[in-house]
C-alpha cells in the first residue's frame, strides 16, 4: 500500500513538473508583453527595458524557471519593487495586481472551495440517490422522472441555468441576494445565501450525470451473481442493497467524482463568471488576459494539484471501497 502510494505520488510529481514547464513556456509564447501593462500612459522603450530587467524577464528562460521553482521550495528575494523577501512557498509577485501571489491565492481559493465542496456534496447525494432509487424502482413513474431530470440536466449548460436561476430567484422574485462571497467564518448565513444559487446550478447539472451513471451501475450490479447469491441466501433486501450492491455500484461513481471535483476545484471559471464571484477560475482567466505570469503559474499549478491529488485519492478510495481491486 505504502509502495503503491509512493509510486502514485512520484508519477503525480512528474505530472505537476510537466504542467509547470508547459505553463511556463506557454506564457512566453503569449503575444502579450506583460511589461507594457506596468508601464503607464507615457512609457518609453528605455523604461520598459528597465522594468523587464527588474522583473528578470531578460534572464535566460531556464534561470527564470529555476528561480520560480526555487521560490516555491525555499523562498527567494524579489526586488524592492516586488515586496522584497518572499518566504516559501513563494509564488512570486504579481506586477499586475501589485500583491504577492500567495495573498491572491489565499483570498480566492476559499471562494472556489466554498462553491465546489457544498455543491459536490449536493450533487453526489442527489445524483447517486436519484440513480439508486430509479434503479430499484425501475420502470415506475419515479424512474422515468429521474431519467427525464437527468437527460434535461445533461443537455443544459451552466451559463444558461445560472442566468435563469439568477433572473428568477434574484431579480424577479427577489428571494435571494445577488450572489457574492462572504467568509463562512464571518457570517455563515450570508455565506450560504450568497452561494446557494451556484451550488444549485452545479448540483443540477452534475447530479444529472451521476444519476445516469449510478442508475446504470446499480442495475448492472443488481444483476450480478453475488447480489443474486446474497438475495438467495435470504439476506434482507436493504442489507443486500446497502452493503453489497451500493458498494459495487459506487466505485465508478467515485472515479468520476474524483476527477470532477478535482477539476472543479481547479477553477470553476464558468460558474464564477456566471454568478459574478471572484474565485480561482476567474483569477486565472484575468491573469492570462493581463499576461500576469506568476499568477498564471500559481493558478494553473493549483488547478493541476487538485486534479492530480483527486486522481491519487480516487485510486486509494477505489481500493478501500472495492476489495476486488488489487493495488499493483
User: Between residue 169 and residue 228, which ones bind other proteins under the rule CB under 8 A?
Assistant: 170-172, 174, 177-181, 212, 215-216, 219-220
46 belongs to the binding site for other proteins (CB under 8 A): yes
> Looking at 49-57, 115-123, 227-235, 240-248, which segment touches other proteins (CB under 8 A)?
49-57
Q: Are 291 and 32 in contact (CB under 8 A)?
A: yes
The footprint of other proteins on residues 136-175 (CB under 8 A) is: 138-139, 144, 147-148, 151-152, 154-157, 159-160, 163-164, 166-168, 170-172, 174
The footprint of other proteins on residues 92-131 (CB under 8 A) is: 97-99, 103-104, 107
The footprint of other proteins on residues 56-95 (CB under 8 A) is: 79-83
The footprint of other proteins on residues 2-31 (CB under 8 A) is: 3-4, 6-7, 11, 14-16, 18-19, 22, 26-27, 29-31
49 belongs to the binding site for other proteins (CB under 8 A): no
318 belongs to the binding site for other proteins (CB under 8 A): no
What does the buried/exposed string (b/e) look like for 90-107 if buried means 16 or more CB atoms within 10 Å of the residue's CB? bbbbbbbbeebbbebbee
Q: Are 168 and 175 in contact (CB under 8 A)?
A: no
How far is Cα 264 from Cα 323, in angstroms, rounded to an integer?
28
Single residue of 9, 50, 63, 175 touching other proteins by CB under 8 A: 50
295 belongs to the binding site for other proteins (CB under 8 A): no
The nearer residue to other proteins, 235 or 252, going by C-beta atoms, is 252
The nearer residue to other proteins, 228 or 239, going by C-beta atoms, is 228
The footprint of other proteins on residues 266-285 (CB under 8 A) is: 266-267, 269-270, 273, 275-278, 281, 284-285
Q: Are 84 and 27 in contact (CB under 8 A)?
A: no
Q: How far is CA 10 from the centre of its chain?
A: 22
Q: Are 123 and 207 in contact (CB under 8 A)?
A: yes
Q: How far is the CB of 119 from other proteins (least distance, A)?
A: 17
CA distances from 257 to 60, 124, 266, 269 (A): 41, 8, 14, 18
The sign one gets for the Cα dihedral 57, 63, 64, 65 is positive
The footprint of other proteins on residues 237-266 (CB under 8 A) is: 259, 263, 266
Q: Are 294 and 92 in contact (CB under 8 A)?
A: yes
Side-chain half-sphere of 222: how many Cα atoms within 13 Å? 19
Amino acid at each position: 500500500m505504502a509502495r503503491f502510494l509512493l509510486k502514485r505520488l512520484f508519477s503525480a510529481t512528474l505530472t505537476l513538473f510537466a504542467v509547470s514547464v508547459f505553463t511556463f513556456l506557454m506564457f512566453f509564447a503569449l503575444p502579450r508583453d506583460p511589461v507594457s501593462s506596468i508601464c503607464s500612459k507615457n512609457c518609453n522603450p528605455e523604461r520598459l527595458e528597465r522594468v523587464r530587467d527588474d522583473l528578470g524577464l531578460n534572464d535566460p528562460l531556464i534561470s527564470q524557471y529555476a528561480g520560480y521553482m526555487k521560490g516555491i521550495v525555499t523562498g527567494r528575494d524579489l526586488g524592492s519593487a516586488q515586496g522584497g523577501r518572499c518566504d516559501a512557498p513563494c509564488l512570486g509577485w504579481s506586477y499586475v495586481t501589485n500583491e504577492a501571489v500567495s495573498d491572491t491565492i489565499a483570498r480566492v481559493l476559499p471562494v472556489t472551495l466554498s462553491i465546489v465542496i457544498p455543491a459536490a456534496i449536493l450533487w453526489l447525494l442527489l445524483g447517486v440517490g436519484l440513480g439508486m432509487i430509479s434503479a430499484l424502482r425501475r420502470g415506475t413513474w419515479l424512474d422515468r422522472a429521474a431519467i427525464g431530470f437527468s437527460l434535461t440536466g445533461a443537455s443544459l449548460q451552466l451559463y444558461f441555468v445560472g442566468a435563469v436561476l439568477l433572473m428568477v430567484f434574484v431579480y424577479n422574485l427577489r428571494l435571494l441576494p445577488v450572489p457574492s462571497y462572504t467568509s463562512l467564518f464571518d457570517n455563515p448565513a450570508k455565506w450560504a445565501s450568497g452561494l446557494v444559487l451556484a451550488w444549485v446550478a452545479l448540483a443540477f447539472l452534475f447530479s444529472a450525470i451521476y444519476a445516469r451513471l449510478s442508475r446504470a451501475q446499480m442495475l448492472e450490479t443488481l444483476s450480478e451473481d453475488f447480489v443474486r447469491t446474497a438475495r438467495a441466501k435470504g439476506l434482507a433486501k436493504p442489507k443486500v442493497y446497502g452493503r453489497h450492491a451500493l458498494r459495487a455500484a459506487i466505485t465508478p461513481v467515485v472515479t468520476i467524482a474524483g476527477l470532477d471535483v478535482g477539476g472543479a476545484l481547479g477553477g470553476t471559471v464558468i460558474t464564477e463568471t456566471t454568478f459574478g464571484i471572484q474565485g480561482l477560475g476567474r483569477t486565472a482567466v484575468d491573469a492570462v488576459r493581463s499576461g500576469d505570469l506568476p499568477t498564471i503559474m500559481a493558478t494553473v499549478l493549483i488547478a493541476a494539484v487538485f486534479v492530480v491529488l483527486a486522481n491519487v485519492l480516487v485510486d486509494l478510495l477505489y481500493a478501500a471501497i472495492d476489495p476486488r481491486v488489487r493495488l499493483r
